[in-house]
A and B are shown apart, each in its own frame.
Chain A
Amino acid sequence: MHARLRAAIGAVIVSLVAVFAFAGCGSSSSTSTSTSGAGDGSSLVVYSGRSEEYVGPALAAFTKKTGVTVDVRYGDSVDLGLLIGEEGDKTPAQVFLAQSPGAMVYLDQSKLLSTLPQATLDKVPATFRADDGTWVGVTGRQRVLIYNTDLVTQSDLPKSVFDLVKPQYEGKVAVAPSNSSFQDFVTAMTQLSGEQKTKAWLEGLAANGAKAYAKNDAIADAVARGEIPFGLVNHYYFNEIIEKDPNAPVKVYRFPGTDPGSLFLVSTAAIPAPAANNADAVALINYMLSPAGQAMFVAEEGEYPVVPGVKQATGQPSLSELAYPTYDLSGLTDLRQTAKLIQGSGIGG
């Protein structure tokens, strides 16, 4: 029995060694979503609600410039915001990048974000950052309606986003209800037009057979192939379609005036409280706000720069020409409430 015991204990020890030995080499060999540093050894954990396609190149350029390795967890902005909320002090995230302000405002209210250095905040106009300095805007995007020109004529275009619940749009509109840009748009609409009207609009959309898609990309694809005539997305998804297929029968439409449908949102960056004042984290945000970083976002997908003086993408109205409604960002507090409002409307996810 003693020999058997020894063999058994040996087995357990070997298995533990195997786990930890691998854990050691595994985390250093995961280069795919992490960018390899030049070798000063420091590394940064980033939670990104923006997809790798969009922020990957900027993160890689940052690593190349500074030698800081970046390990990224990609996901949905709302999900990652709620995740940091659940993780609290335990969050490994040192920088949080989100598609829109909603997740940041939520975390700020929960006291889970640190205050950014004033020099970083000053790079961005006050309208594009938190009043209390816990997050900054990184890039700007406008909510638009894209449509398939084979299926839609000019005269079919709605005057307001509220028109989309009318019978003539039955089964013709694509939305991405679980996407954080859509959720922030709904929150802002609640502020601009009241909760009753927003709720009625969402329920109207559901009753009118609006189709739910997982992501804006999927909506763009669906509109391009004529699966559905209209789609509510961020403006740069139009650029993406044209990039894939210059002859795609798709056009972009901005609701006139200060319609909630033409909301202007910023993608955002923040440093969670446990990583307060982390030099690498601050350096990453500063890099994204540098002229070089901003230029990358503009070139990649035609987002609007938030730093004054950076050149805008051609072929779209300039930031100063854009008409959009203004709303109180600090009202974007309850992620769960908006998500439940959307879920409860029956529009699906």
Chain B
Amino acid sequence: MSTTALAVVLAVPFALPFIYLIVRNAGDLSGLWAALTDGDTIAPAFRSLLLGTSVAITAGIIGTGAAWMVARTDLWGRRSWALLLCLPLVMPSFVGAVALIAAFSPGGLLSQLLGNAVPLPSVSGFWGAYGVLTLLTYPYVFLPVMARLRTMPPATEESARLLGRRPFAVFLTVVVPQARAAIAAGALLVFLYVISDFGAVQLLRYDTLTRMIYANRLLDPSVSVALSLVLGVMAVVVVAFERRASRVGLRETQRLRTPLTVPLGRLKALAITLLGLLVALSLIVPIGVLLFWAIRGAVQGNDRSNSVINDPSLILGPLGSTAGVSIATAIVAVLVVLPIAYRTVRRPGRLGEAIAGTVVGGFALPGLVTALAFVFWTLNAPGPVGALYQTLPLLILAYLVHHGALALGATQTAVAAIPPRLEDAARSLGSNRTRRFASVEWPLMWPGIAAGAGLVLLSTMKELPATLLLSPPGFSTLATRVWSAAEVALYEDAAVYALVLLALSAILTWFLVVRPALRSWDRVASVQDETQPEPVHVPAEPVAG
């Protein structure tokens, strides 16, 4: 078997869910047609688009504005702001939703502060989902735009300012157009995140496609499968655009000089207030609400014997399952993706693009859709495929399909970074393939591969819908524990599981996202004209849901 054949074979699983959806819908065209023409099933598609567009635009504005303030103005503590503003990445959407609901729940923070006299508004529906998703997704715009702004040549801006344009006008007419591709790529990722989201819209009860797909999965499977295809096609189209936008973004990266710094003057206090508010709402308040419930729950106690508050050792099972399944997925992902990375980097071409595209397609498909495709497929298949139903290997396969692309990107970069002359030298010295891999390639590649594995680990840890649908009976992760506790309004339990999940996620996010971002920050700060910067690579993580 050649590397090509191996890469093709390994890429096949990534296409399976989509192929299944097409085959199944093709076998039931009347059902597909009925679903596509029924107002009750099409309304959710419009709600998905409405929510996705609203959140993408708002997150685009917030993310770009924050990036400009941090990257290009004389704000105090810009490095710290850069760090704080990307931290909301640690929070899965369902945890954000739980925090919002718990804050407004009776006996929650707000009712304690205001007293029972003030009736609290309901947070469910469009506005709740819009708020939570916007606050959690703006970093997807903030990070790439900040990276772009820090490496953008200041010449045009300088001219504009010398010609008398005000800072804000310069921002709109010079800065935004130049960062256009980065903003677009970020906003498209946000859009994908929102239309794929399951946790927040389900908890906040806003009837989008994902919610409709979930509600009908058993009641009317043909509707569910038809809508899955609709959502899948939407997601794949978005990812295709996103990849184009970010490729343009990389080309735009130019020779670098110390970027222009705009003095904010009297507006400095306002800028600090705005950024502070953003960090407070997206990070401090949700964590504060969770801490409030967890601490009060622990102080007051309760009489439920199966509450994690009474028996902290109950956390160990979900913690072990979460760690185990995530680590297994990360290892499998690296092993599967490595041959694909070799093939696509070493012999670029149409076939290589198709293989890489298949892997990315797996990532584009929402986790809920991937999981449902596997559920239906294994349920209806005889023999060994059918035997996979509700087993851990199938769950790990679904994780792999959904998150493999995260490892592929990093691994491709790692493979590409091996200087061919080193390999040539090793070969001429008589090393065989295995030896060359072990002594030359692996030592050079492993940091990149580890980063890729880490991203898979981080995303798998926070995954919700596939875990809910595919895990074997009795298997629960921190994410599903948060979910089930929140569903029955046991917010003190949900808060404990959520805080543990956030802590784990924060550690990984620090190493995988924040530290690299800060390093590139420092590099840009110290760099002189003659160096060509590496493009800052923003991992397209974690479109979970």
By a beta-carbon cutoff of 8 Å, the part of chain A in contact with chain B is: 1, 3-9, 11-12, 14-15, 18-20, 22-23, 25-27, 29-34, 45-47, 51-53, 56-57, 60, 70-74, 79, 82-83, 85-87, 90, 92-93, 150, 178, 211-215, 217-218, 220-222, 224-227, 243-245, 248-249, 336, 339-340, 343, 348-349
Contact = CB atoms under 8 A, between A and B. Distances in A.
Contacts of B487: 51, 214-215, 217
Given A22-B396, A27-B474, A73-B473, A3 B317 contact: no
Given A29-B320, A225-B105, A336-B220, 16 more contacts: A11-B338, A12-B335, A15-B336, A26-B324, A27-B392, A30-B320, A53-B306, A60-B306, A87-B379, A93-B473, A212-B205, A215-B488, A222-B122, A227-B119, A243-B303, A343-B219
A103 to B, nearest CB: 11
A82 B218 CA distance: 6
11 contacts: A4-B3, A7-B433, A15-B332, A27-B392, A30-B321, A90-B386, A214-B203, A215-B488, A225-B120, A227-B119, A244-B106
Contact of A71 (B215, B339, B437, B474): B474
A20 B393 contact: yes
B324 A34 contact: no
Interface of B: 1-3, 6, 40, 105-107, 111, 116, 119-122, 203, 205, 207, 215, 218-221, 303-306, 314, 316-318, 320-321, 324-325, 328, 331-332, 335-336, 338-339, 379, 386, 389-393, 396, 432-434, 437, 472-476, 481, 484, 487-490
B116 A348 contact: no
Contacts of B432: 3
Given A6-B434, A26-B321, A214-B487, A92 B332 contact: no
Contacts of A46: 473
Nearest to A36: B317
A25 B392 CA distance: 10
A3 to B, nearest CB: 3
Contacts of B338: 11
Contact of B6 (A8, A73, A211, A343): A8
Contacts of A6: 433-434
B476 A19 contact: no
A90 B379 contact: yes
A22 B325 contact: yes
Contacts, number: 183
| A contact patch SS | helix
A30 B106 contact: no
Contact of A1 (B2, B306, B392, B474): B2
Contacts of B335: 11-12, 14-15, 18
Contacts of A222: 122
A25 to B, nearest CB: 7
Contacts of A70: 474
A215 B489 contact: yes
Contacts of A336: 219-220
A39 to B, nearest CB: 17
Most A Cβ at <10 Å: residue of B205, B338, B389: B205
B431 to A, nearest CB: 10
Nearest to B327: A22
A101 B220 CA distance: 21
Contacts of A51: 484, 487-488
Contacts of A8: 1, 3, 6, 339
Nearest to B106: A225
Contacts of B316: 31
B331 A86 contact: no
Nearest to A57: B305
Nearest to A13: B335
A9 B98 CA distance: 45
B332 A73 contact: no
Contacts of A19: 328, 332, 392-393, 396
A29 B205 contact: no
B107 A245 contact: yes
A73 B476 CA distance: 9
Contact of A29 (B321, B332, B390, B434): B321
Given A18-B331, A22-B325, A224-B106, A249 B116 contact: yes
Most B Cβ at <10 Å: residue of A30, A79, A86: A30
A149 to B, nearest CB: 12
A71 B473 contact: yes
A27 B475 contact: yes
B484 A3 contact: no
Given A29-B317, A72-B474, A53 B488 contact: yes
A197 B324 CA distance: 54
B433 A29 contact: no
A57 to B, nearest CB: 5
A247 to B, nearest CB: 9
A5 B481 CA distance: 43
Given A23-B391, A26-B392, A30-B474, A7 B317 contact: no
Contacts of B331: 15, 18
Contacts of B318: 32
Contact of A18 (B3, B332, B391, B474): B332
Contact of A7 (B106, B220, B325, B437): B437
B471 to A, nearest CB: 8
A52 B484 contact: yes
A118 B318 CA distance: 39
A6 B1 CA distance: 10
B124 to A, nearest CB: 9
Contacts of B437: 7
B317 A32 contact: yes
B473 A72 contact: yes
Contacts of B390: 92
Nearest to B7: A8
B474 A34 contact: yes
A58 B452 CA distance: 44
Nearest to B397: A19
The 9 closest A-B pairs by CB, nearest first: A71-B474, A3-B433, A225-B106, A32-B317, A34-B474, A82-B218, A31-B317, A56-B306, A15-B335
Contacts of B218: 79, 82-83, 85-86
B473 A214 contact: no
A214 B476 contact: no
B306 A11 contact: no
B317 A86 contact: no
B481 A32 contact: yes
Contacts of B221: 86
B197 to A, nearest CB: 16
A46 B473 CA distance: 8
Given A11-B335, A214-B205, A221-B105, A178 B215 contact: yes
B106 A248 contact: yes
Most A Cβ at <10 Å: residue of B2, B219, B481: B219
A110 to B, nearest CB: 13
Contacts of A3: 432-434
Most A Cβ at <10 Å: residue of B106, B379, B476: B106
Contacts of A92: 390, 472-473
A170 B489 CA distance: 26
Contacts of A4: 3, 433
A33 B475 contact: yes
B155 to A, nearest CB: 49
A144 to B, nearest CB: 18
B219 A340 contact: yes
Nearest to A346: B40
Contacts of B40: 343
B1 A5 contact: yes
A180 to B, nearest CB: 13
Nearest to A296: B305
B32 to A, nearest CB: 19
B486 to A, nearest CB: 10
Contact of B215 (A45, A87, A217, A349): A349
A23 B3 contact: no
A213 B489 CA distance: 12
Nearest to B211: A349
A72 B336 CA distance: 32
